Amino acid sequence: MTALLIDQALETAYIVAGLTGDDAPGDVSVRPRLMAADVGPNDFALIQTPEIGLLTETHVVDPAFGISTAESGAIAMRTPVRPDEIERASILLYDVGSTAELLARATLWPFYGIEAANWLRDPDGSSSVTIVDGLAALEPVEAGFSEDLVRAWYILTEQPVVTHLLAIPIGATDEDVAAIRTRLTDATAAGYAARRDVRKALLEESSVEPERLVDFLARLRYELDAGTRTAAYSIIARGAGGTSYPLLRAIPWRETE
């Protein structure tokens, strides 16, 4: 049985809603913060974009299905003062995924002129810049400032942020790939059809304004074209330096006729 792993994130909310439930197939596994290390050589995985760099020995990437958002998104920088007043700071990656980390590294200095003194995973009181993603990035701030890094990236590059890609086992057949694409596409449609229930469940977990969540979910795109494939590589090329994610010469797209 072909296993399908899904990263549980705000960007995958419709897909997860369409794939899970009492009648969900047993070969689907939804995992928060799905990482490359969690993916077996025969697993299909809808995973955050930078994780692809750690799977190149066993997987290629579907050139057709992926998740992207442009102009506005759910990755944010929080600061106690205006960002243009900060020249150098410790950066706290507060329980964020790999896409948020690389996006922060790709925008803080080029767009905001903020030099990272160091990058932290655990709060120690020294950071004056915090990166958040998901619902936390959409919540209003009680004090200080919040900057949408997806918007910053779009202004900087005129590209969307490709948050998730579909990793395909190298030995997968065309039939297997077509079946997984269909399942993901159908799940997205099913989740969208139940969008009011999906949004209600998400809003119960947060203080996000309903209009903000509606706008975010409406911006998501689930198909890749030449432009979004280029954008997927750009975030790796600009943000992977200094991380555990390799700087790829190219994303290993699966060749199709």
Query: What tens digit of pLDDT does each residue of 169-205 get?
Result: 999 999 999 999 999 999 999 999 999 999 999 999 7
Residue with tokens 């689930």: 222
81, two tokens: 């003062």
* Secondary structure tally for the chain: helices H, strands E: 8, 11
| Identical fold between 4-68+160-239 and 75-157 | yes
In the chain, domain spans: 4-68+160-239, 75-157
Rounded to two decimals, the pTM is: 0.95
Q: Tell which wins on pLDDT, 114 or 25.
A: 114
3-state secondary structure 60-76: EEEEEEEEEECCCCCEE
- The architecture CATH gives domain 4-68+160-239: 3-Layer(aba) Sandwich (3.40)
What tens digit of pLDDT does each residue of 88-110 get? 999 999 999 999 999 999 999 99
Instruction: Give the separation between CA 149 and CA 133, rounded to whole angstroms.
Output: 10
Using CA atoms, how far residue 106 sits from 83, 113, 145, 170, 182, in Å, is 15, 11, 19, 30, 33
103 Cβ contact partners less than 8 Å away, ≥ 6 residues apart: 75, 149, 150, 153, 161, 235, 239
Which ranges constitute the DSSP H helices of the chain? 13-19, 98-112, 135-138, 149-157, 174-193, 195-203, 210-219, 226-239
Task: Specify whether domain 75-157 bears CATH 3.30.565.10.
Answer: no
Query: Is 90 exceeded by the pLDDT of residue 127?
Result: no
List the one residue out of 51, 105, 49 whose CA is nearest residue 77. 105
Is residue 128 within 8 Å of 94, Cβ to Cβ?
Answer: no
The residue among 8, 13, 4, 10 whose CA lies nearest residue 194 is 13
11: pLDDT confidence band, cut at 50, 70 and 90?
very high
Q: Which residues lie across from 68 on neighbouring strands?
A: 162, 221
Is the pLDDT at 2 greater than 80? The verdict is no
Identify the pLDDT of residue 257: 52
**What pLDDT is attached to residue 24?**
54
